[in-house]
Amino acid sequence: MQKIFLTLAAAGLLAAPTLAQTAEKVDAAALAKIKDEGLNRSKVMETAFYLTDVCGPRLANSEGLARANAWTKKRLTDYGLTNANVEAWGDFGRGWDIDKSYVAMTAPYYHAMIGVPKAWTPSTPGSLRKQVVVVRATTEADLGKYKGQLRDKIVLLPVATPPQPNFEPDAKRLTTEELQAMADATVGGAPTAANAPAATADRVAAMRAARELRLKVNDMLLAEGAAAVLSPGRGTDGTVFTTNGAPYAADAKPVLPELEMSIEDQLRLIRLVEAGIPVEVEMETKTHFQTQDLKGYNVVAEIPGTDRKLKSEVVMLGGHLDSWHAATGATDNAAGCAVMMEAVRILKATGLKPRRTIRIALWGEEEEGLHGSRNYVKNHFADPATMQLKPDHEKLAAYFNLDNGAGKIRGIYAQGNEAVKPIFAAWLQPFADMGATTVTLRNTGSTDHIAFDAVGLPGFQFIQDGLDYFARTHHSNQDTYDRLVPDDLKQASVVVASFVYDAAMRDQKLPRKPLPAPVKPQ
């Protein structure tokens, strides 16, 4: 069948002078196939179910992440992709899993409480039933007053910010005005140490000081023989945003068993103790460490290119497969991985023949510092510390990432790359009726496209509706399958499949920004 092309002219779309006479071609027949497959025969929620409910939490180097690695490799192979592999990126550290967790107040009366073990903290020595004591310390000098008072006690740490009534909805979509402001942005620079506002610098300094004090508190509690720690988690209404309570390094210093508690439960315990009422807590955590294999892994697979001259070039798409452990990592980031897997499934199911090779990568160990993607880039493309380029650096056409929750795609961040803005505007035009319209020059950070951008490769993150991502699900015990919106993920899958196909079919790779200077790790 003859191909039909939508030609989106430069007028009104093309800002870069060198592209002023260029028309970006979009294959309307291919787009129709992508939409039909992705909207009418979607598998994205089935994939999300397996990644969340079946594989479970997927903390870095945990058994759950290993299950997800094996399952995604098999599923991508079943879709017809080639070269599927669970590829080691380098050394990460200890894996950690929860076998049991329980906490309740048993005096002055019984009440079950919400608490999540902090990652990489040890087990309790069986079930504990202990008196509790509050430790309040704003300086290191404050710790001295607790000497001799903490042995065999469960320690309560204070709540910095009590909950307040919230009169705003948890879930929100981007407004027309917000999208327009993004589209109108003329600079892409993200804050750096040199240009960060003073308030941001002050917050960073305060956070560092708080971390240093907490390390001193840990040392004091161990020295004094405390039994365990209950610390307040961020979040309200029973939501607990979880973190790690110890490093994952094989030689990490010992810490006490610790649960991160719902603020409401923590405050009740503190009020009772400080009113002079004896409080007893029963708790048990059973965790185990994986120390046999300290490596981290990414899952990769390919749709081979068909053009004799272009098939050695690669278009990549991906999201991070690991999660935190308090729930099943649905919006962060099973949603992104399910969408990316669905995008390649759509391309295989439609029988489209991309000119360039398409490679999906599901990253490991993102939550602890983008380790999977950064080391993949270092191993395959370039080390940002030296900027000595490997041969494959020249062959990457683009990388597309999805990792801002489960909301539909509203556009894409151009990451300060002015030359790609008109190209992306053309690719988005067929999705205006689906709510995806906006190209912004703004940068966005904190996810895996940054690894590519750091070595001068065209790496991009899509703009997504936030929904309740930061308000309720991001790293929390609420991040479950039930928070996913099927129609949003179907829409995102279709947009991603189209972008990836368009990038694979262009005569030229996407334009690049100038190569950055080497940046030594801090």
Domain with 141, as residue range(s), is 96-172+210-290
- Could you give the number of structural domains in the chain? 2
Residue 247 placed within a domain: yes
Tell me the mean pLDDT in the region 279-308.
97
**26 assigned to some structural domain:** no
- What pLDDT score was predicted for residue 19? 36
Least confident of 14-18, 26-30, 123-127, 278-282: 14-18
Is 1 a domain residue?
Answer: no
User: Within this chain, do residues 151 and 245 fall inside the same structural domain, yes or no?
Assistant: yes
Q: How much is the pLDDT for 14?
A: 35
Residue 104 and residue 82 in one domain: no
The verdict on 356 and 492 lying in the same domain is yes
Q: Which three-class secondary structure state does DSSP give residue 89?
A: strand
pLDDT at 25: 87
Residue 229 lies in a domain: yes
pLDDT at 22 over 80: no
Segment 131-147 mean pLDDT: 95
Q: Is residue 215 part of a domain?
A: yes
- Any domain includes 311: yes
* CATH code (residue 68): 3.40.630.10
- Looking at 250-254, 439-443, 451-455, which range is the least confident one? 250-254
| 336 and 307 assigned to the same domain | yes
pLDDT tens string 457-473: 999 999 999 999 999 99
| 225 or 190, which is more confident | 225
pLDDT of residue 201: 82
31 domain-assigned: no
Is there a single domain that holds both residue 327 and residue 284?
no
Q: What is the rounded average pLDDT for all residues in the chain?
A: 93
18 inside domain: no
Integer CA distances (angstroms), 25 to 5, 30, 36, 76, 78, in order? 6, 12, 20, 29, 32
Residue pLDDT, tens place only, 359-392: 999 999 999 999 999 999 999 999 999 999 999 9
Q: How far apart are CA 55 and CA 62, in angstroms?
A: 11
Mode of pairing for the β-strands spanning 258-261 and 115-117: antiparallel
Does the structure show a pLDDT above 50 at 9?
no
5 has a pLDDT exceeding 50: no
List Cα–Cα distances, 255 to 61, 154, 452, in angstroms.
20, 14, 36
Q: Return the pLDDT at 200.
A: 77
Q: What is the pLDDT of residues 64-119, one digit of tens each?
A: 999 999 999 999 999 999 999 999 999 999 999 999 999 999 999 999 999 999 99
